[in-house]
Chains A and B, each alone.
Chain A
Amino acid sequence: MGMFSSKKYITLDIRKHIETSDKSEDKEYKPYIPNGMWVKCPECGMTLYKEDLEKGNLVCIHCHSHLRMGVAERIKLIIDEGTFEEIDRNIESDNPLNFTDYDIKKYQNKTGLKSAVVTGKGNINKHPIMVAIMEFGFKGGSMSVAEGEKITRAIEKATAEKLPIIIFTASGGARMEEGIFSLMQMAKTSAALARHSQAGLLYITVLTDPTTGGITASFAMLGDIILAEPGTLVGFAGKRVIEQTIKQQLPNGFQTSEFLLEHGFIDKIVPRGELKTTIGKILEMHKID
């Protein structure tokens, strides 16, 4: 668990980060890509004009690979403008094992977030939802108790308010520095989802690159409807671990969203540009009177 390939991680600095809004529309979400006019696609190596990349939702115009997207851009892409209200922003990691060298400050400074997930309420094409969006740029999106708690609270709030919940996954897995406590977040979040499901409510998972380890083995795979972006790495075990275990090279395309679709584990691959419309339609068909 916790292994992931670093393939496709946009080789850009995440200096700019979000000011999560308290519904104020004047605060603009800052994009995730650096200053400067040109960016190199980490997949095909072609040079991209920054403005094109931004307009194109961080999808390479040459190879169509979906570059990793930060929380700020994700909110901008998916949530109706001015409707996002963040909850539990102040929850952050403790250090339950008194681990030396466990420093989340640098990730907090880098991303402007307190933890590797942002949760809140907002609208998607006018449908109210609860949402949790993981930030891979925050220590590989790893799940410590803080992330588990925020996701669980978002699910519980969705259950209490009879709302759908949508989780955008992006994580290498459990936070090693919190050991067994991280592991228990898998049970905690899954149990909360069980109650949400029992209440007859809709849970949509959107798998984004990468989704591995304990995230795959808990809430990522529990959606009523599981969507994924093209080319997303999705798996339980890391590729290196598998290669070491079985002493074989892994086939091309192993553990991509296309691989999971073929094996029947996800419902649909949706290109980023169509994501909001698709989710909107699904929400429309699950409206509760």
Chain B
Amino acid sequence: MNKVWSKVELARHADRPAALDYINIIFTDFIELHGDRLFADDKAFVCGIAKFNDQPVTIIAQQKGRNTKEKIERNFAMPHPEGYRKALRFMKQAEKFKRPIICFVDTPGAFCGIGAEERGQGEAIARNLLEMSQLKVPVISIIIGEGGSGGALAVAVADEVWMLENSIYSILSPEGFATILWKNSARAKEAAEIMKMTAEDLKGFGIIDKIIREKKGGAHRDVNYTANHMKDEIAASLKRLKAKSMEKLLDDRYDKFRKMGPYKLGDV
């Protein structure tokens, strides 16, 4: 068993804590709020307001189900366009009331289907990328399980992006990647190695800012351990981010993504 693949398995583990498990430990007085006011309430997203150490915050979370019934209800945390629009509605609301935003990212990817295309999955994701880059409040995104492609990035254009030790973040699932490149999804393990999707790799690349520790064997072994670490880091980060002027906050967020990825300067 290779090391990367074991992380993929942990990230997708049936008992892995989902967003609500962390939300219940880290925040108090969580009030879930629903709907995009346009089409529907996408249950792949849990959104709402809560207190973090007595300070109001907005929570945007992709929620995987914990049993078969809930998994289906939440569409395996694969949001439709209305999910991204719901997330955006609450992000804009947070901006109006000057609340920091904490996003929990956990999705195999945005849903692929007829309705998703009819209602503009591409537009919904694109809109979030653009709007998040300019939100006038601190934004922290934490990848707690799977960070699947544009479906994850659409809630991860943040001042700080963190990953749990055994979470993954990638352009595509290793299965999809293997299918595209080698026309063989069975080569997923090989793909996972090449793709560089672990927290460690991505921290090295400067794609993420921080790795949140998990108990040996994975986050499901001790959810409180991870949640408490997250809580300390959120407190420290909010203090850091709130100390910045608005201009600096937005410039830093812009520069962070502006610098991502190397390219070459060849001959003209």
Name A residues whose Cβ lies closer than 8 Å to a Cβ of B: 1-3, 89-94, 96-97, 99, 114, 144-146, 148-149, 152, 174, 176, 178-188, 190-195, 197-198, 214, 216-222, 234-237, 241-242, 245-246, 248, 250-251, 254-255, 259-260, 263-265
Select the residue from A91, A99, A183 with max chain B CB neighbours within 10 A: A183
Task: Check A181–B126 contact: CB distance below 8 A.
Answer: no
With contacts A2-B172, A242-B114 taken as known, whether A186 is within 8 angstroms of B260 at the C-beta atoms is no
Q: For A3, what are the chain B residues with a Cβ–Cβ distance below 8 Å?
A: 180
Taking the closest CB of chain B, its distance from the CB of A18, in whole angstroms, is: 14
Taking the closest CB of chain A, its distance from the CB of B146, in whole angstroms, is: 13
Task: Check B171–A179 contact: CB distance below 8 A.
Answer: yes
Q: Which of B181-226 contact A (CB under 8 A)?
A: 181, 194-197, 202, 205, 207
Q: For A216, what are the chain B residues with a Cβ–Cβ distance below 8 Å?
A: 122-123, 126
Task: Check B117–A242 contact: CB distance below 8 A.
Answer: yes
With contacts A99-B194, A216-B126, A241-B112 taken as known, whether A186 is within 8 angstroms of B119 at the C-beta atoms is no
Interface size for B (C-beta < 8 A) is 54
Taking the closest CB of chain B, its distance from the CB of A32, in whole angstroms, is: 22
Task: Check B130–A180 contact: CB distance below 8 A.
Answer: no
Cα distance, A203 to B251, chains bound together (Å) = 22
Select the residue from B113, B149, B196 with max chain A CB neighbours within 10 A: B149
Cα distance, A255 to B118, chains bound together (Å) = 8
What are 10 A-B pairs with beta-carbon distances under 8 A? A1-B176, A93-B264, A97-B196, A148-B261, A180-B171, A183-B171, A187-B260, A191-B133, A235-B122, A241-B112
Cα distance, A179 to B134, chains bound together (Å) = 25
Q: Is residue B265 contacting chain A, with contact meaning CB distance below 8 A?
A: yes
Which 10 residue pairs of A and B lie closest in terms of their CB atoms, listed nearest first?
A145-B261, A216-B122, A237-B112, A191-B133, A190-B129, A181-B261, A184-B260, A217-B125, A236-B122, A221-B123
With contacts A2-B172, A96-B261 taken as known, whether A236 is within 8 angstroms of B117 at the C-beta atoms is yes
Taking the closest CB of chain A, its distance from the CB of B83, in whole angstroms, is: 13
Q: For A174, what are the chain B residues with a Cβ–Cβ distance below 8 Å?
A: 171
Task: Check A180–B265 contact: CB distance below 8 A.
Answer: no
B105-138 CB contact bits vs A (8 Å, 1 = yes)?
Answer: 0000011111011111111011101110110000
Q: Is residue B162 contacting chain A, with contact meaning CB distance below 8 A?
A: no
Closest B residue to A3 by CB, please name it.
B180
